[in-house]
């Protein structure tokens, strides 16, 4: 078995060469394309001084996390 990275729209079969190629989308189904989220101009950022250890925070690139302190 050989696994490699490339781009194919669909898999294929070569009966004479005893070869079958299957794409990840045929195995796992079509993936939704992710869209980039933009910061809303009306979104307000709270002052960082108000953060307490354990507070939830949201980052535009990294998502939701908990503030661990400095």
pLDDT of residue 16: 92
pLDDT of residue 42: 65
Grouping H, G, I as helix, E, B as strand and the rest as coil, residue 8 is: coil
| Residues 18-51: tens digit of each pLDDT | 899 888 888 888 766 777 767 666 666 667 778 8
Work out the angle at residue 30's Cα, subtended by the Cα atoms of residues 27 and 31, and round it to the nearest 5 degrees.
115
From the centroid of its chain, how far is CA 60?
13
From the centroid of its chain, how far is CA 55?
24
Number of neighbouring beta carbons within 10 Å of residue 24: 11
């Amino acid at each position: 078995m050989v696994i490699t990275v490339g781009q194919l729209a669909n898999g294929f079969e070569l009966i004479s060469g005893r070869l079958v190629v299957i794409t990840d989308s045929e195995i796992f189904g079509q993936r939704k394309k992710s869209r980039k989220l933009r910061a809303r101009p009306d979104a307000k950022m709270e002052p960082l001084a108000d953060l307490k250890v354990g507070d939830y925070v949201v980052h535009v690139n990294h998502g939701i996390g908990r503030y661990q302190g400095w």
